[in-house]
């Protein structure tokens, strides 16, 4: 696997080595050993999958300590714009984001470390999205930011009138008004 660094330290894109022939393709989608050596020394404990249609926007979500989560995400079918926002107060990249297109054809994966809010928008008729988490889901620890916070400047690549949100995702605060954020100096792993 090739690890591609982004403009925010710790947030990386992973490109697998794909073997193609007349039968199709093969690639190793995950190796704990390689991941720990090349990306982050963490262990994933839960795999999740969602199915969504064009215009669905999920995010920007995170879990607060002690249930903070890292995520390793990928698309099995379709295409999404996946976004990680640095919400660590005191970080040199606080409030900045990385956006990457993940598709069934590019097979890229995106690693979102603890201390970041995460979301994605669906760019195709249908998407099957998978992600690994390094901590179990804890509803009492949920946190989120407004997907349309103008201070974040995220272009979700979907017209606003086509965005489909859950009821919960309609009511999150902007980053500047958030009551709870991570501390850049706090050890998260």
Q: Mind listing the pLDDT tens digit for each residue in 36-58?
A: 999 999 999 999 999 999 999 99
Task: CATH number of the domain at 130, please.
Answer: 2.60.120.10
* Residue 171 annotated to the active site: no
Looking at the domain assignment, is residue 10 inside a domain?
Answer: no
**pLDDT for 96:** 98
- Condensed to tens digits (0 to 9), the pLDDT of residues 122-178 reads 999 999 999 999 999 999 999 999 999 999 999 999 999 999 999 999 999 999 999
Residues 118, 165: Cα–Cα separation, whole Å: 15
Question: Residue 127 belongs to what domain range?
Answer: 44-180
Residue 118 included in any domain: yes
Assigned domain for 143 exists: yes
Identify whether 17 is part of a domain: no
Omega of the bond leading into 60 within 30 degrees of 0 (cis)? yes
Position 24 scores a pLDDT of 93
pTM, entire model: 0.95
User: How much of the chain exceeds pLDDT 70, in percent?
Assistant: 100
- Is residue 6 a part of any domain in this protein? no
Report the pLDDT value the prediction gives residue 39, as an integer from 0 to 100: 97
Residue 5 falls within a domain, yes or no? no
* 54, 61, 137, 189: the active-site residue: 61
pLDDT for res 73: 98
Is 131 marked active-site?
A: yes
Q: How confident is the prediction for the chain on average, in pLDDT?
A: 96
Phi (first) and psi of residue 17, to 5 degrees: -85, 115
Q: How far apart are CA 135 and CA 44, in angstroms?
A: 7
Cα distance between residue 143 and residue 179, in whole Å: 10
Catalytic entry in 97, 107, 118, 131: 131
Establish if 159 belongs to a structural domain. yes
Tokens representing residue 135 in the block:
């901590």
> What's the pLDDT at 75?
98
User: pLDDT class for 79, splitting at 50, 70, 90?
Assistant: very high
Q: How confident is the model at residue 86 (pLDDT cuts 50, 70, 90)?
A: very high
Q: How many domains does the chain have?
A: 1
Residue 80 lies in a domain: yes
């Amino acid at each position: 696997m090739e690890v591609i660094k982004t403009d925010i330290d710790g947030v990386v894109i992973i490109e697998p080595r794909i073997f193609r022939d007349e039968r199709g393709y093969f690639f190793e989608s995950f190796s704990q050993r390689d991941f720990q050596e090349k990306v982050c020394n963490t262990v994933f404990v839960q795999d999740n999958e969602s199915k969504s249609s064009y215009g669905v926007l999920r995010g920007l979500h995170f879990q607060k300590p002690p249930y903070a989560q890292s995520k390793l995400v990928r698309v099995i079918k379709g295409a999404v714009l996946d976004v990680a926002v640095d919400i660590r107060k005191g970080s040199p990249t606080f409030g900045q984001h990385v956006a990457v297109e993940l598709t069934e054809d590019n097979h890229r994966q995106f690693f979102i470390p603890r201390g970041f809010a995460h979301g994605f928008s669906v760019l195709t008729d249908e998407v099957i999205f998978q992600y690994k988490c390094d901590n179990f889901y804890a509803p009492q620890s949920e946190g989120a930011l407004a997907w349309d916070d103008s201070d974040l400047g995220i272009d979700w690549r979907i017209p606003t009138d086509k965005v489909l949100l859950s009821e919960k995702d309609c009511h999150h605060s902007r980053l500047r008004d958030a009551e709870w954020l991570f501390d850049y100096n706090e050890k998260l792993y």
